[in-house]
Amino acid sequence: MLILSQKGNHFSKKETMNKFFQSISALVLFIILVSCSSKSSTPTMEAVTQAPTQKTIITATSVNVPSQTAEPYIGVSGSIVFGSNRGGDYMDIYLLNLDEAQITRLTNGDSNHFPGPYSPDGKLILFTGFGLTKSYVAVMNTDGSAKVNLTNSEDSDEGFPDWSPDGRQIAFTSRRDGNNEIYVMNADGSTSSRLTNNTVDDFAPSWSPDGNKIAFVSDRDKSSGYYSVYIMNSNGTGVSRLTFEDGIDYTPVWSPDGSQIAFRSSFEGQSDLFLINVDGTGLVNLTNSSSEEWSPTWSPDGKLIAFQTDRDGNWEIYVMNVEGTNLINITNDPADDQMPYWRK
């Protein structure tokens, strides 16, 4: 079953994103499906499958966040790729040039396209595309040209791609073995290997800046659908659990200096953005609001975080200081704008 069906009309905020992110318990995000039976093939690489040792639960502190948009930043620059339904019935990928306040549409078709990160050299963009029945990981130039299906599988859903810091490999999630597992392949789509091997779901890999670690989410130590953030070596060994709070955690992303991880956590249906040190200390709630905040991404200098929020009544892309202050809406469109990725 496909995690996100292709509809003839555009997805509303609740319909799209509740299936897309909020209902990861059904794994409706990108290519992720509900958990199935055990693996159907032998992995090339296997991660540590034993549950890590428990440690003390860390209580998050709160940061006061303004309820209104602040004045625009001075000196916010670069470009952000994001998804939006502003151009038609489906979600497409757009490029926002922050220096010129110019938005360019990169995809336009009869199916959904979900954005992924820039390549380390800034010349390519990963994304998740949808065929008739399956999703796939693809890459394109930053002007939207030369789109290439990298996974090219007719029998499995793939998604959640992330580049290695040297640009030579791509980590992604696949259901080719019956449930969600993390794989790595060469940047041209060749020679894929499985990094995790579990009867539960492992997905949403995020490579550390030094290339030695991969963060991901899994429900291996909780009830099905209740995810925590984990860190493993880039070859799939040495799995350790990072988050121990009661929330359901998603979309971990490393800070540019590799010292912290930003992620989204949902408590009783309410989602905020959190920051945690890679040693598990210093957990902080950055947004702490009554609205929904999802999909954090770091600015290249590590001083800002872009994310999506529904605090204006629809999904918009906001930017805030890394401390959770000085918010500004950078998309400001009646359509739903979501899933930002900042050019590194």
Q: What is the mean pLDDT of residues 273-279?
A: 98
CA distance 47 to 38: 15
Q: What is the pLDDT of residue 75?
A: 60
CA distance 260 to 256: 9
CA angle 213, 215, 220 (to 5 degrees): 120
CA distance 204 to 180: 10
Q: What is the mean pLDDT of residues 166-178?
A: 96
CA distance 239 to 242: 10
- pLDDT tens for residues 138-158? 999 999 999 999 998 888 999
Q: With 80 as the cut, is the pLDDT of residue 63 above it?
A: no
Q: What is the pLDDT of residue 301?
A: 95
Q: What is the mean pLDDT of residues 94-114?
A: 93
Q: In the chain, pLDDT over 70 holds for what percent of residues?
A: 78
Is the dihedral angle over the CA atoms 292, 290, 306, 276 positive or is it negative?
Answer: negative
CA distance 254 to 108: 30
pLDDT-based confidence at residue 109 (cuts at 50, 70, 90): confident
Q: What is the mean pLDDT of residues 264-290?
A: 94
Element (H, E) at 329: strand 328-329
pTM of the model: 0.82
Domains of the chain: which residue ranges?
13-36+58-342
- pLDDT tens for residues 307-328? 999 999 999 999 999 999 999 9
Q: What is the pLDDT of residue 133?
A: 87
Is the dihedral angle over the CA atoms 112, 18, 294, 197 positive or is it negative?
Answer: negative
Nearest alpha-carbon partner for 228 in 213, 248, 208, 201:
248
Q: With 90 as the cut, is the pLDDT of residue 190 above it?
A: yes
pLDDT-based confidence at residue 33 (cuts at 50, 70, 90): very low
Beta-bridged to residue 118, according to DSSP, are: 125
> Could you tell me if 168 and 148 are in contact, meaning their C-beta atoms sit under 8 angstroms apart?
no
Q: What is the pLDDT of residue 74?
A: 55
Sheet containing strand 202-207, edge to edge, reads 202-207, 213-218, 228-233, 240-241
For residue 268, the 8-state DSSP code is T
Q: With 90 as the cut, is the pLDDT of residue 132 above it?
A: no
Backbone angles phi, psi at 19, to 5 degrees: -75, -30
- Mean pLDDT (the chain) is 82
- pLDDT tens for residues 69-83? 444 455 678 999 999
Q: 3-state DSSP helix/strand/coil percent for the chain, to nearest 5? A: 5, 40, 60
Q: What is the dotted CATH code of the domain comprising 13-36+58-342?
A: 2.120.10.30
Within 10 A of 28 (CB to CB), how many other CB atoms are there? 23
Q: What is the pLDDT of residue 64?
A: 39
Q: What is the pLDDT of residue 26?
A: 32
List Cβ<8 Å contacts ≥24 apart for 318-321: 318/69, 319/73, 319/76, 320/65, 320/286, 320/287
Q: With 60 as the cut, is the pLDDT of residue 91 above it?
A: yes
- pLDDT tens for residues 206-234? 999 999 999 999 999 999 999 999 999 99
Q: With 60 as the cut, is the pLDDT of residue 57 above it?
A: no
Residue type, 25: S
- pLDDT tens for residues 238-270? 999 999 998 999 999 999 999 999 999 998 788
CA distance 344 to 336: 24
Is the dihedral angle over the CA atoms 240, 243, 244, 250 positive or is it negative?
Answer: negative
Residue type, 227: Y
Q: With 80 as the cut, is the pLDDT of residue 24 above it?
A: no
Q: What is the pLDDT of residue 205?
A: 98
CA distance 11 to 141: 26
SS3 276: strand
DSSP 169-235: EEEEEE-TTSS-EEEEEETTS-S-EE----SS-EEEEEE-TTSSEEEEEE-TTSSTT--EEEEEETT
Residue with tokens 């496909």: 2
